[in-house]
Amino acid sequence: MNRGIWRLQIIVGSLITALGPASSAGVFKNQFIEFETPERWSCALEGTEYVCQDTRPEFQREAIIVLAAKLRGEQDSLTAYRDYLSRPREFKAPNGKRITSRPLKVSSVVINGLTWITSIHEESEIPGFRTHYFATVRDPIAVLVTFSIRTSRYGAVMPKFETMISTLKIKYRK
Per-residue pLDDT for 154 more than 70? yes
Can you say how many angstroms the Cα of residue 133 is from the centroid of all Cα atoms in its chain? 9
Predicted local confidence at residue 23, as pLDDT: 35
At 34-57, the pLDDT tens digits run 999 888 999 999 999 999 999 999
Lowest average pLDDT, out of 9-13, 58-62, 106-110, goes to 9-13
Predicted local confidence at residue 174, as pLDDT: 60
The fraction of the chain above a pLDDT of 90, given in percent, is: 54
Predicted local confidence at residue 112, as pLDDT: 94
Residue type, 14: S
Q: Alpha-carbon distance 3 to 47, whole Å? A: 61
CA dihedral 112, 116, 119, 124 (to 10 degrees): -100
pTM: predicted TM-score of the whole model, two decimal places: 0.80
Per-residue pLDDT for 173 more than 70? no
Give the bridge partners for 19, in sequence order. none
Per-residue pLDDT for 10 more than 70? no
CB count in 10 Å sphere of residue 159: 9
Q: Mean pLDDT throughout 1-23?
A: 30
Give the bridge partners for 111, in sequence order. 114
